[in-house]
Amino acid sequence: MEIQTAIKIENLIKKYKGFKLEIPSLKIPEGFATALIGENGAGKSTLINVLAGIRLDYTGEITYFDGRQEEKAIRENVGYTGPGNYFMPYWTIDVVGKASRLLFEQFHEERYQEICQELGVDKKKTSIEKLSDGMKMKTMLAAVFARDTQMLLLDEPASPLDPLMRDKLCSMIREYIEEGNGEKSVFFSTHNIADMENVTDYAVIMAHGKIVEKGFVEDLKEKYILVKGESSEADSGKEILLGFQKNHYGYEGLCLSENLDKLAGMDIVTETPTLSQISVAVMKEFSNLAGSAK
Amino acid sequence: MKEAVKGYHIFLSKSWLKWAIYIPYPIVLIGMVYILNRYLTFFQYICIGMVCGMIVAVEIMVDTYVLMGIASKNTNRLEYLKTSTKGLPLLKKVLAMDAVRRFLSITVILAGAYLVIGTDPTGTSNVTPAQCFICIVITDLLVELAFLLTRLFLNVWINLLTVYILWGIAFLEGFIILYKISLLPILLVMVLCAGVIAAGRTLILKRAGESYYDG
């Protein structure tokens, strides 16, 4: 099955205050939910800001929807939510609805009100600046889901949300993709994939401004194997395993499937890893903490 | 035009503010001139000075809820507007509408003050239309000058300090009615006012454009 590309990135470079985002090539698949995973400072927000068009100081090429649409249509069809001060501080939730109607042609105010109600956003006359981070994020999500879009770029949408709301967000993302019949995509960043794993189809793992791993979740789960072994054999496993961890009972880490034969003869148990375990192990290999962890 | 008005009212955001700037604001200030002129003072320059000062104070404080800090460096309050191709054009319309609304408000209030003083049955009005008009333009100029500062910083205390200083300067406008005003000073002040409005607008749009770039 040929998979269409929602966003294609080529030779993207962005430099900012001692940080460099460098992505030679990335294709975000259309019709799927892609998680952009990385620790704090990995470059996730930087990448999403560039894709959302709110940062223009980069070199490289970004193609949306296989180049089928003009710039204006792209902006109309791409929804973005970000952290921090996203709305004017004195806007209220009702005013956000009115502003969205002016800013986006395919914004539905009735749907916005319905989603606000569904998400429990009830302080309609309160200024955005006085709302909690969770309420602000819910307002952003309501505003973006109330539009007819083809792609959502969500920067850390789950971070300020409670567990119940995170589950609700996953349902909303899943419904959004399903109603698109393969033409709607979601690209969201997270540093805590455990909460969003059940909605993730494709994962991109970043570290230090670079992509260190990417692929469909099912493929990644075949590529890596979670290995657990006895403490006495820890030294043997250390060199082969990613994200190696040792405790009183034994050790565990991730092993590339192709390297499993290097552990032959050792007393190990293998499991299919979760995306969270894959992400942590891969990030550990590239993180500054990797040296201290080993 | 309709979009500019809607956009401006979105930036006014507070529902009480939308109502207050159109009705109570001019009525209260014209009423203040009436009370001052009829009951408290014989000196018309005090009436004009007071109302000019109050206009400057009110306009700066209203802007706290509208565009305060919009031109600050590294402003990130425009992120939502930037996600739409209509965002920055909407901001331009809002700035234009804001300037027009302000000029009209100042004109209504000072024209009302002029009429109140002119219809005083006990005294002769010393205020000429030319003096009234130059007060309108100077008041607008002072407010726009204030905005060059208050829109640079997201800080209420700077707004308050600016109010205190400019209220005093605006009060001195009252003394204009003691002098004959010719066309040239009016034209000069109008050009200066237009220049300050353009400079303020350019600064805001420049900062908005810069916000697309980090570092």
Which chain A residue has the Cα nearest residue B67? A88
Percent pLDDT > 70 in chain B is: 95
Instruction: Give the least confident one: A193-197, B69-73, B95-99.
Output: B69-73
Residue of chain A whose alpha carbon sits nearest to that of B74: A85
d(CA A45, CA A206): 11
CA distance A114 to A137: 16
- pLDDT tens digits for range B153-171: 878 888 888 889 998 999 8
Q: Which of B3, B79, B215 sits opposite A86 (nearest CB)?
A: B79
Q: For residues A217 and A222, give the distance between their C-alpha atoms in angstroms, rounded to a whole number.
A: 9
A17/B215 Cβ within 8 A? yes
Are the beta carbons of B87 and A71 separated by less than 8 Å? no
Q: Which of A56, A76, A84 sits opposite B212 (nearest CB)?
A: A56
Q: What average pLDDT score do residues A82-94 get?
A: 85
Question: Six-digit token pair at A45?
Answer: 């927000």
Chain A nearest-CA residue for B86: A103
Q: Whole-angstrom Cα distance, residue B126 to residue B128?
A: 6
Whether the per-residue pLDDT at A125 is higher than 50: the answer is yes
Question: How far A54 CA sits from the closest chain B CA (Å)?
Answer: 6
Residues in chain B: 215
CB–CB contact B77 A91 (8 Å) = no
The torsion angles phi and psi of A28, rounded to 5 degrees, stand at: -90, 120
B87 touches chain A (CB under 8 A): yes
Hey, is A117 helix, strand or coil? helix
**Residue A123 or A174, more confident:** A174
Closest CA to B57 of B159, B167, B151: B167
Contact residues on chain B for A86, CB-CB shorter than 8 A: 79-80
CA A72 distance to own-chain centroid: 25
DSSP secondary-structure letter at A274? Answer: P
pLDDT on residue B124: 63
A53–B80 C-beta distance less than 8 A: no
| Contact assessment for residue B55 and residue B106, using Cβ atoms and an 8 Å cutoff | yes
Helix, strand, or coil (residue A146):
coil
Interface of B with A in 42-81 (CB under 8 A): 65-66, 76-77, 79-81
ipTM: 0.83
Compute the average pLDDT of residues A26-52: 94
Q: Which of B109, B119, B106, B97 is nearest to B9 (CA)?
A: B97
Say whether pLDDT at A99 is over 50. yes
**B174-203 average pLDDT score:** 87
Q: To which residue do tokens 């800080």 refer?
A: B155
Chain B residue with minimum CA distance to A153 = B83
Cα(A173)–Cα(B33) distance, integer angstroms:
60
Asked if B19 has any chain A CB less than 8 Å from its own CB, the reply is: no
Q: For the ranges A32-41, A256-265, B53-62, B131-140, which has the lowest average pLDDT?
A: A256-265
Q: Left (φ > 0), alpha (ψ -120 to 50) or beta: where does A65 sit?
A: left
pLDDT of residue A293 exceeding 60: no
